[in-house]
Structure 1
């Protein structure tokens, strides 16, 4: 998924580690700080505290305040994180529900709307991964496309990165659908978006390794759908991505396993 939420609305990370200073009364800032702290040490108490602060923000800000939708969107993401941690179905249901409410209550012209759409789309992608419900992946794809339609092009490096993240997200959703439907057009579009996201990402960017692997996955999908000529490119992407992943990264084992499988396919098929 896009690392859209990596930047706190609060300027102090120290408050995150201390479960937020008492004088910080802005609940969204408190929630963000606690979420960032959870991302560093994975203490479930911090995640629960972040959820509680976001729930308070929903109550504090009226529906016509853009922070109300932002709080709902935060709850979508936070319950998805909780689902990823504990795999408890109610969290995923809540994530989708909060995501829909965030999108539905966003005011016209809300600059945060793409963020809310992306958060909902990621939750729906998790639903698809869990249930193989086709409507969920179709809706996720439509939401990611919608993000790209309304996001401005160019601008600051942060804006550029947000667009690239959405392209990468769209590629991943299309790959999921294309692998099941065995549709070359969908798989080719996934590869195109993954290629653009990678080609416009600097080599020293923290997402560069992930985008190498994303493109490798799209090429592998094409190879497994009757186009083995893409196996070589897929192997190159996975191998480069693996070299860039830091030691101890949780994705390394899966990437190594996929790389071994690709090399086996190349030997079998002579590509």
Structure 2
């Protein structure tokens, strides 16, 4: 799934506090800076500091200010990052709660609503991975679809890249539901979105290897539901992804295991 370590656009909506922001006193800006530093270093103290600054931002900005919802959405993302780090259930519960608040309190015309919806959807997908609660993945799918409905299809390269990321996220959530239910229609839709995301991702893009593997995973899901004709392409996607991930990358062992499993399936199907 896509992870966002970029700067919050809502910082640009600060009309009264430019001087404070330039001095790094604006709380949402401080939270963003600390989160970016955490993304570079992995230092948990920076993550805790980012959470504290976002909590202050929720108190500082009124509900009518776009930055109030942005701060809530930041807390959703930050607690999800904390969950990914320490696997504390309380963090995942908080992430979902803050994500719901961000979507519910987003003012009319909020340009960041799609980002808030995506952040909540990602937290719900994490919850599904832990509990296999069908309502969580259904809500995540609906939110990702809603993101795409809100996002324009044209515009700048940055907007186009953000849209591709949401297409990939939708494919991943559909894969989870289809793999569990063994529903080939859901998996077929997941393949369509995964293909589209890979097609629109340049070969030299940092996410290209991830999207190769995403497509491979969906195709493998079809193989496992009795569609062995997809095994060759699934194997190709994993092999290409493995070549693109650098030596020592933590995902490589899992991909190598998947390729070994695919060879076993080939033997099982006599292909």
TM-score w.r.t. length of structure 1? 0.93
Whether 2:249 is the aligned partner of 1:249: answer yes
Partner of 1:120: 120
Equivalent positions of 1:8-157 (< 5 A) are 23-157=23-157
Partner of 2:263: 263
- SS for the counterpart of 1:205 is coil
- SS for the counterpart of 1:153 is coil
Q: Is the 8 A contact 1:4 1:165 kept in 2?
A: no
Equivalent positions of 1:200-211 (< 5 A) are 200-211=200-211
Partner of 2:181: 181
Q: Deviations over 1:33-69 (max 9, x none)?
A: 1111111221110100110111111111110000000
Q: Give the 3 Å change call, closer, same or farther, for CA 196–216 of structure 1 in structure 2.
A: same
Q: Deviations over 1:192-249 (max 9, x none)?
A: 0000000010000000000000000000000000001111100000110111112222
| Distance apart, 1:257 and its partner CA | 1.1
Q: Write the distance in 1 (CA, Å) between the matches of 2:22 and 2:200.
A: 42
Partner of 1:16: none
| Distance apart, 1:180 and its partner CA | 1.0
Q: Is the 8 A contact 1:79 1:91 kept in 2?
A: yes
Partner of 2:162: 162
Question: What is the root-mean-square deviation of aligned Cα atoms in Å?
Answer: 1.6
Q: Is the 8 A contact 1:8 1:33 kept in 2?
A: no
Q: Give the 3 Å change call, closer, same or farther, for CA 72–261 of structure 1 in structure 2.
A: same
Q: Is the 8 A contact 2:141 2:170 kept in 1?
A: yes
Q: Write the distance in 2 (CA, Å) between the matches of 1:9 and 1:30.
A: 13
- Counting matched residue pairs gives 262
Q: Write the distance in 2 (CA, Å) between the matches of 1:127 and 1:8.
A: 24
Q: Deviations over 1:122-177 (max 9, x none)?
A: 00001100111000000000000000011111111110011110110000000000
Q: Write the distance in 2 (CA, Å) between the matches of 1:7 and 1:232.
A: 40
Q: Write the distance in 2 (CA, Å) between the matches of 1:92 and 1:209.
A: 28
Q: Is the 8 A contact 2:103 2:116 kept in 1?
A: yes
Unaligned runs of 5+ in 2: 12-20
TM-score w.r.t. length of structure 2? 0.93
- SS for the counterpart of 1:230 is helix
